[in-house]
Amino acid sequence: MIDFSDPQLLYMVLIIPSLFGFTLIGEGLHKLVKSDLGGWLSLIFGSLFIVVVILAYIVLRQI
């Protein structure tokens, strides 16, 4: 089983990618508020990134 109490693993696998995904979501929402349709792309990629982080967490918990 992987030790999730190790802060280096926690930051590399979960925290930093999550912050990146939330940044993409925020950028997408900002663009949509400004009526820029390109915001949908950032919003979708940010959401997919968060889903990948959640799936990685689930997979790593089972190892």
Give the residue extent of every domain in the chain. 7-62
- The answer to whether the CB of 37 falls within 8 A of the CB of 29 is no
The shares of helix, strand and coil residues in the chain, as percent rounded to the nearest 5, are 80, 0, 20
Which of 5, 32, 41, 45 is CA-nearest to residue 53?
45
Cα–Cα distance, 46 to 38 (Å, whole number): 13
Q: Give residue 4's pLDDT band: very low, low, confident or very high (50, 70, 90).
A: low
Average pLDDT over the chain, rounded to whole?
Answer: 88
* pLDDT reading at 2 higher than 70: no
Mean pLDDT of 19-27: 96
pLDDT single digits (tens) 26-45? 999 999 999 999 999 999 99
Provide the whole-model pTM.
0.82
